[in-house]
Structure 1
Amino acid sequence: MSPISMAAETIDPLPQHTLLVFLLQIGALLVLALVLGRLASRFGLPSLVGELASGILLGPSLLLHAAPGLSGWLFPQDATQMHLLDAVGQLGVLLLVGFTGMHLDLKVIRRYGGKAAGVSVADLLPTLALGLWLGFAMPDRLRPSDADPTVFAWFVGVAMCVSSIPVIGRVLVDMKLIHRNVGQLILVVGTIDDAVGWVLVSVVTALATTGIGAHEIATPLWHLAVVAAVMLTVGRWTVRRVMTWAGSADGGSARAKTIAATVILLVLAGAGTQALGFEAVFGAFQCGILIGAVTTPAQAKRLEPLNATVLSFLSPLYFALAGLRIDLTTLANPDVALWGLVALLVAVSGKYIGAFVGSAFARLNRWEALALGAGINARGVIQIVIAVVGVRLGLLTTAMYSIIVLIAILTPLMAPPVLRIAMKRIESTADEELREQRVLALQGGPEAGESEQAADPAAAHERGVPVHPT
């Protein structure tokens, strides 16, 4: 093939106007997200609340009605334009979830894994049952005319019972609770909830498209087993080798290698779970857990620039994009608003009932149960993703989509005040203080453990402070 013909087949670059609008969209969303995020923090709320609000203000809920011309130019109903924003947002949420996984202590998983599984079962079953009842009880106008009532009910049940690791992790980080034992338990329970949720979504998707059978049920379960097996064997070995290689360099080269290696591992892990039918964030979170298990405090310190970029740029942009898809004007109908309130009560009550029942069996006190219920009640991103899947499958009307998304927005708002009340009554432990040092190192604080390693490596190892890459 001649060079001329090869050049003729080259894909045209992004049109100049499309690029201009994309850059202005990024700028507008990011400026408003940072301003409102800071404002939310001033009022004691997680910054993600303000970031979600920025998308709502610039989306069809307000800007489209207040300035339709500006809205149509800045946020046109163009698939290419939205796909550009989504691509940046997806990278942001992958890295955010990866860092959330790095904060998870494997010792806590081993210690509380059984309790977390029991709490997860206890919170999933009542929420799923209440969601099924809600799906059957809702009037026909909230269900597409061509949607099967049973499939619709199952989809609503699944949408009600999921949690959201990206939002839970962001709330715990913002409130400086990620190092607490209850915070770690919330992450483990949320991980189990999300895994079960994606399996159920896969089953309901098969039910809505090809019908249900043994194959449709077995496939997502088999894929989940594959993910677990790979992460515990090849994935664990690969992460250890790659991070050891990255940490062997000196100076600026070590920082660059560690950041590059982390991004590559998280992205490829996300691609793997995406290929198996799960969301990419599920794989990134699992990979983040493995990275956190093998990195030393010094390596964690090297990741601080990447962590700062995620928290100050990519993460706010992702949550702003989530808010951009919401149209709150559909809730102006009193009947729709009433059913939206019922759906919110179902979603919240199911999680809290499950948290208290599961905590009773796990022998947690009432304040730990309250904190656990507040944490796993936060939905957000995953529920929004599931709502988009429902629209694509023709299972949700615009009104029902808005109800589910509104729950995804309101439940993270409920978590902080309840967590503050509960955590004031839960004493901190020595393990939590040691874990906090690691979190501070990852977020740019002092390189916890380095002085201890230099003074007494044996004592550092005895207390759990990594001395060498493992």
Structure 2
Amino acid sequence: MLTALALILGAALVCGAIARRLGFPSMAGELVAGVLLGPSVLGMVAPQVTGVVVDADGAPTTAISAVGTLAVVLLVGLAATELDGPFLRGNARTIGVVSGVSFVIPLVAGIGIGLVLPAEYLGDGSNTGDATSTTEFAVLLGVAMSVSAIPVIARILGDLHLLQTRLGRLILSAGTLTDLAAWLALAAVSALVTVGLRGWHLPLTLLAMIGSVAVALVARPVIGRVLSRLESGGHDAQSAAVMVIAMVAGAAATEALHLEAVLGALLAGIACGRRPERVVAPLRLVTTAVLAPVFLASAGLHVDLRVLASPGVAGVAVGVITVAVVAKLLGGYLGARLARLSRWESMAVGSGLNARGVVEIIIATTGLSLGVFSEETYMIVVVMAVVTSVMAGPMVAAAARRCRQEAGQSDLVGAESAQHGT
């Protein structure tokens, strides 16, 4: 068990460092680590090594899966704590329009593609006992296309010194709301697949989702007071521990309600709210430097490059990824223009929201585990996550330069734009 964790974490860190040296996100290298350890590389030339990190069925070992699950819970929960309440309230119209349009257009495009793809791209439903319907598959593919990766976006904005600008906070806020809608949709699809819509299942599922959101809102001031008291007393470690407990408990609660665990983690993060950087920074460091690489490498274990070598699958991958990129860029751009941002500000918004990163990989992994996605679709979605994350940085940087040229100041959205968003 410990050997498997050491092997996969070591490989992920080495490959992630190489990716950064080459100018790519570390996420890409960590995924490659899993591919190298998986069936398409070492599985063919050194199966005894692959056998350390996968079980007899070819799935990641229990220890790797457990660490990966914790990584997902903390990644989603910590991303939710980044919501800036005062900024969100002060720019509600702008953020609402941007997030709404940038979510709906890719969602519709993904559903359209899902309805016309051949049946071989649908999962067999083996993990739930029922055959996957085209509707379930199409909606989940649409959800995968509509998300944005807050950790990746935050890293890009930080590198470009945009994180504290109004434009940067707008992109982060819109991305977080977009992901909230995506997690709700994912929870609905998960419930549809696992319990169906027969009898009382549909109203019970809706009630469970509404109840989960209500509990998070009611618990928010209580959890906030507890955390603030610990932080004011200098007990930062205990405050971080309470946050982890809340996120894990939230994930367990929604999973018990036959909803997706990430929904509970997201709601728990919202309930915790923004915390002092001295509290969040160590927790974020452990999550991104240790836990997330294990999850990403374990996701790479499912990738079999021999499947992507098929011309038919490769052609579908290019088509799906192209539509996903165009739809997300268009959605973000149109949403920002409707909110009266300038042309280049709108392009920066669309480019930033186009990064899907680890969030899309979480959805791909969920789709595979539910039996909704086939191996081919899983790999297409994973490649889409990597491609869009690599694209986002240079595109946001180029749009930001044009914004600076037009505005003639470091604050990319000046007072005139601020009047439109409030």
2:190 corresponds to 1:199: no
Q: How does 1:212-361 map onto structure 2 within 5 Å?
A: 212=197, 218-233=203-218, 235-250=219-234, 254-293=235-274, 295=275, 297=276, 300-361=277-338
1: CA distance between counterparts of 2:59 and 2:104? 40
The letter of the residue matching 1:416 is G
User: Which residue, out of 101, 106, 115, partners 2:80?
Assistant: 101
CA contact (8 A) 2:336 2:346 kept: yes
**CA shift at 1:31, angstroms?**
2.0
- C-alpha distance in 2 between matches for 1:202 and 1:99: 19
Structure 1 CA distance for aligned equivalents of residues 157 and 56 of structure 2: 35
Quick one: distance in 1 between partners of 2:254 and 2:158?
25
Give the distance between the partners of 2:199 and 2:169, measured in 1 at CA.
35
Q: Is the 8 A contact 2:357 2:386 kept in 1?
A: yes
CA shift for structure 1 position 339: 0.8
TM-score w.r.t. the length of structure 1 is 0.75
Out of 160, 165, 173, which is 2:145 matched to? 160
Alpha-carbon distance in 2 for matches of 1:431, 1:262: 34
Partner of 1:125: 104
Give the partner amino acid of 2:326: S
CA shift digits 1:282-324 (9 cap, x unpaired): 433444345444x4x5xx3244433332232122222222222
Task: Give the partner amino acid of 1:193.
Answer: T
Structure 1 residue 182 corresponds to structure 2 residue 167 = yes
Displacement of 1:198: 3.3
Contact 1:203-1:212 within 8 A present in 2 as well: no
CA distance in 2, matches of 1:257, 1:208: 38
Tell me the residue number matched to 1:134: 113
Given that 2:188 and 2:259 are in contact with CA atoms closer than 8 Å, whether structure 1 keeps it comes out as: no
Q: Cα offset for 1:215?
A: 5.5
Q: Give, in whole Å, the separation in 2 of the partners of 1:193 and 1:218.
A: 24
Gaps in structure 1 of 5+ consecutive residues: 1-21, 433-470
- Pairwise CA RMSD: 3.2
Q: Residues 304 and 133 from structure 1, CA distance in 2 versus in 1: closer, same or farther, beyond 3 angstroms? A: closer
Letter in 1 for 2:64: L
Q: Deviations over 1:246-274 (max 9, x none)?
A: 12435xxx233233233223323333343
2:47 is matched with which residue?
68
- The aligned counterpart of 1:467 is none
Q: Is the 8 A contact 2:84 2:173 kept in 1?
A: no
For 2:118, give the aligned amino acid: P
Letter aligned with residue 244 of structure 1: S
Q: Is the CA contact 1:377–1:412 (under 8 Å) kept in the aligned structure 2?
A: yes
Structure 1 stretch 209-218 or stretch 352-361: which is displaced more?
209-218
CA contact (8 A) 1:259 1:302 kept: yes
Q: Which has the larger radius of gyration?
A: 1
For the 8 Å contact 1:348–1:411, the answer to whether it is kept is yes
> Which string of whole-angstrom CA distances, capped at 9 and with x for unpartnered residues, describes residues 340-379 of structure 1?
1111011111111111111111111222222222222222
Counterpart in the other structure of 1:89? 68
Tell me if the contact between 2:303 and 2:379 (Cα under 8 Å) persists in the aligned partners: yes
Tell me which of 366, 374, 378 is aligned to 1:397: 374
Give the letter aligned to residue 238 of structure 2.
K
- Whether 2:391 is the aligned partner of 1:407: answer no
The answer as to whether partners of 2:60 and 2:298 remain within 8 angstroms in 1 is: no
What is the CA-CA distance between 1:100 and the residue it aligns to? 2.8
> Structure 1 residues 150, 266: CA separation in 2 closer, same or farther (over 3 Å shift)?
closer
Instruction: Using the TM superposition, name which of 113-122 and 420-429 deviates more.
Output: 420-429
Distance 1:157 1:431 in 2: 31
Q: How many residues were matched structurally?
A: 403
Give the structure 2 partner of residue 47 of structure 1.
Answer: 26
Contact 2:153 2:353 in 1 (8 A): yes
Contact 2:123–2:368 (Cα < 8 Å) also in 1: no
| Deviation by residue 1:35-68 (Cα, 9 ceiling, x = unmatched) | 2322333333332222222222222232212322
Residues 226 and 179 (structure 1), Cα distance of their counterparts in 2 relative to 1, 3 Å cut: farther
Give distance in 1, aligned partners of 2:160 and 2:8. 24
Deviation for aligned residue 1:216: 5.3
TM-superposed deviation, 1:177: 4.4
Give the counterpart letter for 2:18 in structure 1.
L
% identical equivalent positions: 37
Could you tell me how far apart the structure 1 residues matched to 2:76 and 2:411 are?
Answer: 26
TM-score scaled by length of structure 2? 0.83
State the 1:337 CA deviation.
Answer: 0.6
Deviations 1:129-149 (A, max 9, x none): 222321233234434686444
Query: Which blocks of at least 5 consecutive residues in structure 2 are unaligned?
Result: 125-130, 415-422
